Amino acid sequence: MHTPTLCFQLLVSGHAVVGTEWNYPEHLTECGKIYLIRSGTGWMRHGGVEYQLRPGKLYLIPEAVLHSCGCPHEMAVDYVHFTGMDDVGTNVFRRIPVVYECAQIADAPVAGLMDALITVNTSTARLRCRLAASGMLQTLLSLFVTDEPQPDSDARSRFLPVFLYIEQNLGEHISITMLADRVGLDRTHFTRLFTKLYGMAPTAFIHQRRLSRAKLLLRSTDASIGAIADELGYTDGSHLWREFKRGTGLAPSEYRAADGPNTP
């Protein structure tokens, strides 16, 4: 049996104090995130479960899941944004069973890892620090891995080829019938099962995934709106502008300037 190689990339890390403005309705996450709450409280919801964010605990938000979050007053948080793929291009969280709240209260070594990741993210010794950051990131992620069986794990495993195809072809037209054929289902049954498992229809997922990838590219690169549109299969920059504005309430340039990378 092939054991996949996992590859993680640190995108950004930092410390922030957020307030009631940190309030995001349900959306598809553009990258993976880890939070260490230093003080205050907040909440996040994904997988149909709401989690209370409490001081001293670690929380995981996987990439490409429906997620919402908020803060009632004020909260100090260390954060890490990252991507994780296996060697065939599948989101690692489609393969690895995880919990979203670390049962262990974050002790000094864990807090030290977060501090170190924030430090290396601002270092100029890029190659050395990228190697160090990858190891520290994987150590933090290992705290969330579980051996407990996950709900609907067999059905979700069946959909791995679907997600792989979507990720590899966001710049192309993606036929729902063709996706259904890849897992041996008719279009109607496929759409019904996909919606039950992932909380949105496949057409909506593809649309949201393109927007999520656009968000990630806006945050992590200097690519032009036109170049991002070409990569993600939009007709042109104007088409991306319209869809992005409709989906987020902000123009791409406004999102890049307002949110930037330094937002939990």
Domain segments of the chain as ranges: 6-142, 153-258
Q: Which fold has domain 153-258?
A: Arc Repressor Mutant, subunit A (1.10.10)
User: Would you say the CATH fold of 153-258 matches that of 6-142?
Assistant: no
Q: For the domain 6-142, what is the CATH code?
A: 2.60.120.280
What's the pLDDT tens digit per position in 81-123? 998 887 666 777 777 888 899 865 555 678 888 888 888 766 5
Q: State the DSSP code for 98.
A: B
| C-alpha span between 33 and 253 (Å, rounded) | 23
Name the phi and psi angles at 28, rounded to 5: -90, 120
| DSSP secondary structure string for all residues of 57-80 | -EEEE-TTSEEEEE-SS-EEEEEE
Count Cβ neighbours within 10 Å for each residue of 40-68 and write b for 16 or more, e otherwise: bebbbebeeeebebbeebbbbbbbbbbbe
Q: State the DSSP code for 150.
A: P
Q: State the DSSP code for 37.
A: E
What's the pLDDT tens digit per position in 29-84? 888 999 999 999 999 998 788 999 999 899 999 888 889 999 999 999 999 999 88
| C-alpha span between 261 and 264 (Å, rounded) | 8
